[in-house]
């Protein structure tokens, strides 16, 4: 669709369309460029649901486990709330739960499968509501991968006869619990890597160490949940302190968020992008830069007022956060302009991502006050310039190339994506 930037809708529903069918039809999963990846993600989701149902039927929850479950659930939610400022800006690792990982792994060790997976599901819901919203298909896949990893680790424990609730942990039990942790990590890593491809060792090392440390904390939590419940709050507090300290030290320095949209300010985005490109190195997979400009935004602002204009900017920023990975950088580079850095992304994939973002923004609407026969919703379209940043190309050069591509997109009629021409 190429045309006017202001979209008005009367709010009527199309007859004969069942709401769940409409939601599924608009699922971002169907817009992934590779059909094989779509099939794989759906397969893992189906396998997870099937495995959970079978395991819950084979090993139904016991009433005696409700107290440890409530203890672990409460500790997980409190820890997640305390660590929320760091979790919102944490880069993706292989274990999506982050600070929830030790509580989930402890649940794998001491609970029946149904209750253990319940912790995974509630963790995913809390992340969606309180921490950061990934695309729904990614949130579902992350929970499915964690659930499958937990089920495999639990099957290993059942096969070896380990009882982590015992008052004494002998050397054999500790060793088998450690192996169960490695199984948990390995299965989850394999599932995620199969979906996204391998990561560069230098970039991924910190994330692997974080995942391993969080999993290791699940061992004393599992023991304390049954043998010494009063220790659970102390261990949970220690987990939060170490989590916030370790990740906080490794985060981007002087990160400042734009108060109007919640994304990085222009200066913070630039500094973080340059640091990210330095870590990727000259011979790494490179990166791509997207520059986005809202079409005819000033006319929209003049017509509907600054309050609606600010709401549209917030909606666009939210769409950008939903459509990119947590490792990508989103910033507000001007009044109605945004910039995105996509590490490890080539021009072809960057164009696919940019097109997905453009279409998603075009369908994003902001509610207006009811005004008789006037429009009830308003939205914008966006023009996007894409440029690669590889082979030692400086960020400044990539931004110039993306800006040139953006001007071409606007000159060609707006509401379109243009890729910068490679240098000869």
Is 24's pLDDT higher than 60? no
Residues 103/119, Cβ–Cβ less than 8 Å: yes
Q: What is the pLDDT of residues 349-363, one digit of tens each?
A: 899 999 999 999 999
Please tell me which residue, 48 or 228, carries the higher pLDDT value.
48
Q: What pLDDT digit, counting tens, does each position of 50-82 carry?
A: 999 999 999 998 898 999 999 999 999 998 888
Identify which has the larger pLDDT, 236 or 152.
Answer: 152
Percent over 90 (pLDDT), the chain: 34
Band (pLDDT 50/70/90 cuts) for residue 10 is very low
At residue 119, what are phi and psi to the nearest 5 degrees?
Answer: -65, -40
Nearest residue to 280 via CA among 396, 401, 391? 391
Instruction: Using DSSP bridges, classify how beta strands 366-367 and 377-378 pair: parallel, antiparallel or unpaired.
Output: antiparallel
Q: Give the pLDDT confidence score for residue 199 in this predicted structure.
A: 60
Distance CA 393, CA 396 (A): 8
User: What is the pLDDT at residue 168?
Assistant: 62
* pLDDT score recorded for residue 130: 79
202: left (phi over 0), alpha (psi -120 to 50) or beta: alpha
Average of per-residue pLDDT across 196-219: 72
11 pLDDT band, cuts 50/70/90, is very low
Token duo for residue 129: 């509501």
Rounded-to-integer distance, Cα 229 and Cα 276, Å: 42
Backbone angles phi, psi at 113, to 5 degrees: -55, -40
pLDDT band per the 50, 70, 90 thresholds, residue 15: very low
* This prediction's pTM: 0.61
Task: Decide: 288 and 342 in contact? Cβ < 8 Å.
Answer: yes
DSSP-based three-state secondary structure for 333: coil
Domains of the chain by range and CATH?
A: 28-250 (no CATH), 266-419 (3.30.70.270)
Distances (CA, A) of 12 to 3, 5, 25, 154: 22, 21, 18, 50
Average pLDDT, the chain: 80
Q: Which residues neighbour 236 within 8 Å (Cβ) at sequence distance 6 or greater?
A: 75, 78, 79, 103, 221
pLDDT at 410: 93
Residue 89's pLDDT is: 55
- Which token pair is 223? 């023991």
Question: What is the rounded CA–CA span in Å between residue 350 and residue 340?
Answer: 10
C-alpha dist (Å) from residue 349 to 39, 320, 353: 18, 16, 6
State the DSSP H helix or E strand holding residue 420, giving kind and residue range, or none if neither: none
Look up tokens 């409700």; give the residue: 66
Whether residue 16 has pLDDT greater than 70 = no
Least confident of 37-51, 154-168, 263-277, 402-416: 154-168
Question: pLDDT by residue (tens digit) across 100-137?
Answer: 889 999 999 999 999 999 999 999 998 888 776 667 78
| pLDDT tens track for 388-401 | 886 656 788 888 88
- Mean pLDDT over 329-339 rounds to 91
Query: How many Å apart are CA 124 and CA 140, to the nearest integer?
Result: 8
Q: Residue range 372-377: average pLDDT?
A: 65
Query: What is the reported pLDDT for 285?
Result: 61
């Amino acid at each position: 669709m190429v045309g006017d930037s202001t979209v008005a809708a009367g709010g009527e529903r199309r007859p004969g369309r069942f709401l769940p069918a409409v939601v599924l039809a608009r699922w971002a999963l169907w817009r992934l460029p590779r059909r094989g990846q779509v099939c794989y993600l759906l397969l893992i989701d189906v396998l997870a649901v099937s495995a959970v149902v079978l395991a819950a039927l084979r090993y139904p929850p016991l009433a005696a486990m409700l107290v440890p479950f409530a203890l672990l659930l409460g500790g997980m939610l409190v820890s997640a709330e305390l660590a929320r400022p760091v979790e919102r800006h944490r880069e993706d690792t292989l274990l999506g739960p982050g600070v929830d990982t030790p509580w989930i792994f402890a649940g794998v060790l001491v609970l029946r499968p149904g209750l253990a997976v319940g912790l995974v599901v509630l963790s995913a819901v809390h992340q969606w509501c309180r921490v950061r919203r990934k695309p729904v298909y990614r949130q579902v896949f992350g929970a499915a991968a964690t659930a499958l990893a937990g089920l495999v680790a639990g099957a290993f424990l059942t096969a070896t006869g380990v009882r982590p609730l015992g008052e004494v942990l002998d050397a054999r039990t500790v060793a088998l619990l450690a192996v169960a942790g490695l199984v948990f990590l390995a299965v989850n890593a394999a599932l995620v890597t199969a979906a996204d491809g391998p990561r560069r060792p230098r970039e991924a090392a910190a994330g692997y160490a974080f995942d391993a440390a969080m999993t290791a904390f699940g061992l004393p939590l599992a023991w304390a949940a049954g043998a010494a419940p009063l220790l659970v709050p102390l261990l949970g507090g220690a987990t939060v302190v170490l989590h916030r300290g370790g990740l906080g030290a490794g985060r981007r320095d002087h990160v400042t968020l734009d108060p109007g949209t919640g994304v990085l300010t222009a200066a913070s985005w630039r500094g973080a992008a340059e640091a990210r490109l330095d870590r990727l190195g000259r011979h790494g997979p490179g990166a791509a830069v997207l520059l986005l400009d809202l079409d005819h935004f000033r006319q929209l602002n003049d017509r509907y007022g600054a309050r609606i204009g600010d709401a549209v900017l917030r909606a666009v920023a939210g769409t950008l956060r939903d459509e990119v990975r947590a490792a990508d950088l989103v910033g507000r580079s001007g009044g109605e302009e945004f910039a995105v850095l996509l590490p490890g992304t080539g021009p072809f994939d960057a164009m696919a991502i940019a097109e997905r973002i453009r279409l998603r923004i075009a369908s994003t609407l902001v509610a207006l006050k009811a005004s008789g026969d006037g429009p009830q919703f308003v939205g914008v379209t966006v023009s996007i310039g894409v440029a690669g940043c590889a082979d030692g190309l400086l960020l400044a050069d990539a931004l110039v190339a993306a800006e040139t591509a953006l001007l071409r997109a606007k000159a060609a009629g707006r509401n379109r994506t243009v890729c910068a021409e490679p240098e000869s």
